[in-house]
Structure 1
Amino acid sequence: MRWVVLLLLFLGQIINFADKSIVGLAAVPIMKEFDLSNVQWGLVGSSYYWLYPVTGIVGAAWADRIGAKKMLGILMLTWAVLQFGVLGITGLALLVAYRVMLGAFEGPFSPIAYSHANNWFPPKQRAFANSVVVSGATVGAMVVAPLLVAAISIFGWRWAFAFLGIASLIWFTLIQITSERPRDLEEKQSVAKKKLEKLNLKSFLILLSSPSALFTTLAYFSTYIFVVWISVWMPVYLVKVIKMSSVEMGYAVAGIGIVSVVVYVAISMISDSLFKRNQSWRISRVYVVGGSMIAGALLMASVIVFQNPVWVVAAMCLAKGLTYAILPIGPTIVIHLMPERGSLMTSILTSSGNIAGIVGPMLTGFVIDLAGDNTALGFNQSILFMGVMIMLFSILFSIYVKPDRTNTAAISPSGKIMDV
C-alpha cells in the first residue's frame, strides 16, 4: 500500500505543478488576448502566491488533526472547480482572482504530501520517497509541457486548463482506495495527537528560529526563487532570448525536467545510502544538499556567459537537478526536528519558501522592463541574482544546520525545549 500511496502523491504533484506551470506555457496567447505588459504578467505570476504561504500553514496544520488523506481529497475537489471556472475568465481582474484562489487551495498540498510520505516510509527511505513526490512536481511543470502546449494550440488555453480539472476529479476518486496510514503507525499516531495538545507557542517559535530550522528554510527559499522563475519565466526566456520556437521550447522544457528528475532522485538515493550507513544527518543530508546547491548555482550563472541553446539546456538540466536537492531532503530535516507536527513543520518550510513566489515574478518583470529593448540583459540579471542568492544560502546552510546535535522536537508541557 505504501507504494500505491507514493504513486498517488506523485500523480497529485503532477497535477499540482501542471496547474502552476500551464499559465507560463500559455503566456504568449494570454498576454496577447488581454494585451498585458510584462509588469502585468508578473502580477499574474505573483498573484498565485499571495495567499499560498498562509493557507499552506493553516491547511497543513488542519491535516495534522483531520488526517492527510481527507485534506488532500478536499484540496483536489476545489482545484477541479477552479480549473473549470477558467472557462469564464474575460480579463486581467478575473485572471488574477483565479490565480489567487488556485494558489490558496494548492498551498497545503506539498507539505501534506511530504508528511504523508514520511508516515508511510522508514527513515532510510524518506529522502527517496520525498524525491519521488518532488519529481511529480517536475513532471507536472516541465515533462508534460509538450502535451500542455499541444492542448493549448489545439483546444485553446481555457480548455487546456479545464482538462486539468478533469484530472483532479480522477485523482480524488483514486485516493479513496487508500487508508490514512499504515496499521503499525496507529499507536504512534495516537501518541502524536496527545502531543499536539502540549504545543507551546513560545517554544515553537524558538524552535523555528534555531539554526537548523532557520537556515534550512532560507536555503529552501533561495531555491524556490528559481522554482518560480522556471515556472513563470523560463518559457518566455527560451523563446525571446534563446530564440527557440514554441515547439522547441516545449521539448526543451520537457528535457530539462526529465534530466533534472534523474539528478535529484539520484542525489536523494545517495543521501539515503549515506544515512543508512552512518546515521549522520549532517553528512548524509546537510553536506550532500549544500554541495549540490553550490554546484547548481555555478551552472545556473554560466548561461549568462555561454548562451548557445545546447549549453543553456544542458546547464539548466543540471542546475535544476542540483539545486532542487533541498526540496525532498529539506522536509525530512524539519520533520526530524518535530515529528509529531510533521505537516505543520513542512508547511512552514514550504510556505516560507513560497514567499519567493510573491516577489519573484514581479521583480523579474520589473528588471526586464528596466533593461528596455535589451531583453536578454534583463533576463541575465535575473539569473545572476538567483545564482548569487542560492550560493549564499547554501553556504550558510552547510555551516549552520546541525540536526544531529539536538532533536528540538521534544517540548515539555512547561514549554521548555528539551535535548534528546
Structure 2
Amino acid sequence: MDRLRTGDGAAAEEQVCKGAWGTTWLLLTFMLVNFADKTVMGLAADPIRDELGLTRGEFGTAQSSFFALFSLAALGVSFLTRRVRTTVLLLGMALLWSVAQLPMLLGAAGFGTLIATRVLLGAAEGPAAPVAVHHLHGWFGQKERTLPTAVLMVGAAGGVALSAPLLTVVIDVWGWRWAFGAVGLVGLGWAVCWYVRGEEGPLAPPLGRGPSAVSDGAGPSVPYRRVLLSGTWLTAAFGAFAAYWMLSAGLTWAPDYLHEVSGLTLKQSGAVVTATAVGNAVVLLGHGLLARRTARNRTAPRLPVGLGSGLLMCVAALSIAVFAEVDSVGVKITLMVGPMALTHVILTASQTAVARITPAGQRGVVLGALAFVYALAGILSPLVTGRMVDAAATVPTGYHSAYLLMAGLVAVAGVLAVCFLRPEKDAARLEVAETAPMGLAVH
C-alpha cells in the first residue's frame, strides 16, 4: 500500500480515485462494444437466415461457432496476464475483434465466411471479461470491488440496450451486413481511446514468475488445484454457466421467439430486447450499490454473498418457468424486464467471490478459468436451443422446452450458491489475505 500513500496526501488520493473510475468507465465502454458484437447475430437472425438459406439449427451452429475458441482463448490469454501488461492485452483484443467483423461487409461473404469470422471474433472476445476484471481489480481494494465490477458487467446489458435499437435501424436501412461493419468500426474507435488513456492500477501485481508476482503482499501463492476445487470456485463457475446460458440464448433467440411465438414485429422485438437489457443493467447496478453501502456500513448485518445471490437466482428460475408457461405477451415482457434479470447478479458475485479466494498475481489465471467454464454455455446454449426448436412439432413447443431447461439450470445454480458459495470461509482456509482498501469514492 506504500505506493498509494506517496505524493501530496489528499491530492494524490484524489488522482488515484479519478484514475480508478476513469478506467472503470473506459472498460464499461469496452464491454458495451463487446456485447454489441454479440447482439448482431440475434438481431439480424431473420435476414441472415433468409439470404443465406439457413435452418434454425444451422444458424445456431453459426452462433455457437463464436464460442469455438472462446473458452480456450479465455484460459490461454489469462496465463499471459502474469507476463504481459493487461493494457496491452486489452488493446490487442479490441483490435482483433474489430477487424474480425469487417469481412461480412463483402457481398460474396457467405456461410463459410460467417463461421470463420465468428470463430475469430470469439477467440478475440473470450478473454475480454476476465482480463478486464483483473485489470479493474488492480485499481480497487477487495471491499470496494463489487460496485465497479457490477458497472463492468452492466456492459453486457448496456451493450444490448444501446445496440439493439441502433443496429435494428442499420439493418432496416443499410442491410444486415452493415450491422457487422458498424460494430467493427466502433471497436476500432475504442482501441484508439484505450491506446491514449489506458494505464495499470496501483494495486496491479508485478509481472514475472517470482513470489512477489503472485502474492502482491497478500501472502504466498496457492496451488491452482486448491482454488479451482474449492466450493466457492466450483459454485461460482456453475452459477456463471447458468447465467451465461440464459444470456446467450436470449442474445441469439429472444428476437426470434418474440417474433414467431409472441407475434411481435422486428422493431417491437428489438424494443423488448432493449427494455430487457435495461432491466438487467438496473439489477446489476442496484446490487452493486447495495453491496457497496453494506460494505461501508460496518455496523449493519451482512447477508452472505452465497445466500443473497442464490435466493435471487431461485426467484429468477421460477420467473423463467412462469415465462415458459404463460401465453400473455404482457406478462412475458414484464418477467423478462424484471424478475428474470435477477439471474445476472451471479455474474458479479462470481467474479468478486473468485477474486477474494485468489492471490492477486494468480487472479487473472483463475478468472480466465472461470470464463473458460461459463463460456461453454455460449457454445451449448444457442446450439441446443436451435436444435430443440427444430426437432419439436411446432416452434412454440420447442421454445417451451428450451425455457424450462433454462429454468432448471438457474434453479440448481441458485441452490448450490446458497449452500456452497462461501468466499470468506474458503479464503481463510486457503490463507488468502484480503486486499487492503484504497478509500476510493465514486466521482
TM-score (norm. length: structure 2): 0.87
Residue of structure 2 equivalent to 1:245: 265
Q: 1:177 to 1:272 in 2, by over 3 A?
A: same
Query: Where do 1:10-409 residues align within 5 Å?
Result: 10-88=28-106, 90-183=109-202, 185=203, 189=206, 194-196=211-213, 203-278=223-298, 283-338=303-358, 339-372=360-393, 374-407=394-427
Distance 1:71 1:358 in 2: 24
Structure 1 unaligned blocks of 5 or more:
410-416
SS at match of 2:427: coil
Deviations 1:255-302 (A, max 9, x none): 111122112210222223233335999834222211111111111111
Distance 1:405 1:282 in 2: 14
TM-score (norm. length: structure 1): 0.91
User: Are the equivalent residues in 1 in contact too, given 2:357–2:424 (CA < 8 A)?
Assistant: no
1:320 Cα shift?
4.0
Consecutive aligned runs of 4 or more in structure 1 exceeding 4 Å deviation: 190-193, 195-202, 278-282, 417-420
Q: 1:191 to 1:407 in 2, by over 3 A?
A: farther
1:201 Cα shift?
11
Given residue 17 of structure 1, which amino acid in structure 2 is its aligned partner?
F
Distance 1:147 1:240 in 2: 22
SS at match of 1:407: helix
Identity of aligned residues (%): 26
User: Are the equivalent residues in 1 in contact too, given 2:214–2:361 (CA < 8 A)?
Assistant: no
Worse-matched range after superposition: 242-251 or 333-342: 333-342
1:162 Cα shift?
0.9
Distance 2:431 2:119 in 1: 40
Q: 1:63 to 1:244 in 2, by over 3 A?
A: same
Given residue 380 of structure 2, which amino acid in structure 1 is its aligned partner?
V
Worse-matched range after superposition: 247-256 or 297-306: 297-306
1:321 Cα shift?
2.4
Distance 2:221 2:210 in 1: 17
Q: 1:261 to 1:60 in 2, by over 3 A?
A: same
Count of aligned pairs: 410
1:254 Cα shift?
0.7
User: Are the equivalent residues in 1 in contact too, given 2:103–2:109 (CA < 8 A)?
Assistant: no
Deviations 1:47-70 (A, max 9, x none): 111110010111122133211111
Structure 2 unaligned blocks of 5 or more:
1-18, 434-443
User: Are the equivalent residues in 2 in contact too, given 1:267–1:288 (CA < 8 A)?
Assistant: no
Q: 1:206 to 1:218 in 2, by over 3 A?
A: same
User: Are the equivalent residues in 1 in contact too, given 2:135–2:201 (CA < 8 A)?
Assistant: no
Structural RMSD (CA): 2.4
User: Are the equivalent residues in 2 in contact too, given 1:282–1:402 (CA < 8 A)?
Assistant: no
Q: 1:197 to 1:402 in 2, by over 3 A?
A: closer
1:323 Cα shift?
0.5
SS at match of 2:199: coil
